[in-house]
Chain A
């Protein structure tokens, strides 16, 4: 099943509950614009490489479109469309005034020199600068991109349209970035993990947690959850997984990861492969890496009571059905990982107002938005007797739908 089919399935489930007609579903599902461009690059050794870049703008009924820019060898139009669609519902769920978009280049950034990476980023901006901008579509970091790429994008965009830092978010703090943007997704995940466990009378301090992925999202989520008193017993990154049933020393692990480049061989831990981590004896499982990791094949092995989707689309519809039958609570991606885009919104607001917020204000506003949105989703779930995912989609689709009918077509 393609990524877009998966994303569509969740949309259709909610649309069924809402009784939306086929024509209106088609209207909401169909992307507004799909851009596919050639990104040609002269490599350091003089060879010319040609890559394909995408920017897919799904919906702008609620505002300028917003979504990450992914540098990954597996980027294709189908995946980008699925993620763009997800962004539309996500920005609506947390009620920030954006639509949804996503982009990427099918490229492996690890194989590029810093110079090549800069040239490929600038070249991509050359190709798409007309369709992005502070009031059109605002890119942000995603897999394979970070503050440095965003800085290049801002600079290159400025060459065509003049200085305007609000054209992209996730910029370095030294260059109009927002304090707290880096930690935002992980912080949101942690805040909502606590809120969810509180709701189900399951104390966070007694919870054991496994986190798949120890990158920007997983590491910050681990860090905040650790601060809150939870016990992170297993984490993994591309090199492999580590496990300690007594709980990992997260600050020490973060230091170790910075020094060694991975979590592998962290002292006082046992090795744990990916399949073992997903089936670990824990209360909370947080997939925080790539999509489609929880499938019809392994969903039956999951022992956690709660799955927090810190990654996008980590659960296939088959796995979702199995979790529902087994009464495993899934906090869906459109809500769980919305902290990132929410602080991107704060960054955009600060750029447009030329007024910098301090970290405390960013955190307070983020926490408020995340908790308010979570409460709303919970209310819908209990009123309509649906899962948290369907409830979140109902909230998102309702908001996008109302904006669509108010604005007209």
Chain B
């Protein structure tokens, strides 16, 4: 358990929690181990829990329409997943698969409610860390969208190029 507590300390979700708070938290979470290839979360299903990787790595995969998987991210120890469905009941937006043997903990909304009652300070710190993680992700998303907009700008250029080409051939070829 001491090992696991030490690992929790390294996780950004638990930044600022002291030893006692971590011990109290650890009583509320469930530990689980997965073998290589195991699907921890399944896109489209709803299983409300917030996961933290203690050991091993996972990949976040989005299943595309044509059946080929698109890897969105690789999560290392300390990485979290399931947070969107945890905060708001909705089907998982992606599948999480174990790339190695994975040791994880997860906390259910019910257990988190319990923490709020018993140690509101710890719950608040976790909530604040979660907000930071989400806002960081939102920032990266913004940058990505800007990039996409630029790309579509390029496509418009391409359209201009095509228009020029067809005009030269159709109207101005003698």
Contacts and interface: CB of A to CB of B under 8 A. Distances in A.
Interface stretch (A16-24, A52-60, A239-247): A16-24
Given A18-B167, A19-B167, A402-B169, A379 B160 contact: no
Interface string B144-174: 0000000000000100110111011101111
Given A21-B160, A21-B163, A23-B160, A405 B174 contact: no
A207 interface: no
B172 A405 contact: no
A109 interface: no
Chain B interface residue bracket vs A: 10 to 19
A5 B161 CA distance: 26
A22 to B, nearest CB: 10
Contacts of B163: 21
Nearest to A23: B160
Contact of A402 (B157, B160, B161, B168): B168
A24 B160 contact: yes
Say which size band chain A's interface belongs to. 10 to 19
A398 B173 contact: yes
Contact residues of B: prevailing secondary structure: helix
B164 A24 contact: yes
Contacts of B168: 398, 401-402, 405
Nearest to A383: B174
A20 B164 contact: yes
Nearest to A402: B168
Contacts of B171: 18
A380 interface: yes
Contacts of A380: 174
A397 B167 CA distance: 12
Contacts of B173: 398, 402
B172 A394 contact: yes
Nearest to B169: A402
Contacts of B172: 18, 394, 397-398, 401
Contacts of A402: 165, 168-169, 173
B124 to A, nearest CB: 55
Nearest to A14: B172
A405 B160 contact: no
Interface in A369-403: 376, 379-380, 394-395, 397-398, 401-402
Nearest to A20: B164
Contacts of B174: 376, 379-380, 395, 398
Nearest to A24: B164
Contact of A401 (B157, B160, B164): B164
Contacts of A398: 168, 172-174
Interface in B76-98: none
A24 B161 CA distance: 8
A167 B168 CA distance: 32
Contacts of A397: 172
A356 to B, nearest CB: 34
A19 B173 CA distance: 14
Contacts of A21: 160, 163-164
Contacts of B167: 18-20
A16 to B, nearest CB: 13
Contacts of A23: 157, 160
Interface string B47-74: 0000000000000000000000000000
Interface string B127-139: 0000000000000
Contacts of A405: 161, 164-165, 168
A376 B174 CA distance: 7
Nearest to A21: B160
Interface in A13-37: 18-21, 23-24
The 10 lowest CB-CB distance pairs between A and B, nearest first, are A398-B172, A405-B165, A401-B168, A24-B164, A402-B168, A398-B168, A18-B172, A380-B174, A21-B160, A376-B174
Interface of B: 157, 160-161, 163-165, 167-169, 171-174
8 contacts: A20-B167, A21-B164, A379-B174, A380-B174, A397-B172, A398-B168, A398-B173, A402-B165
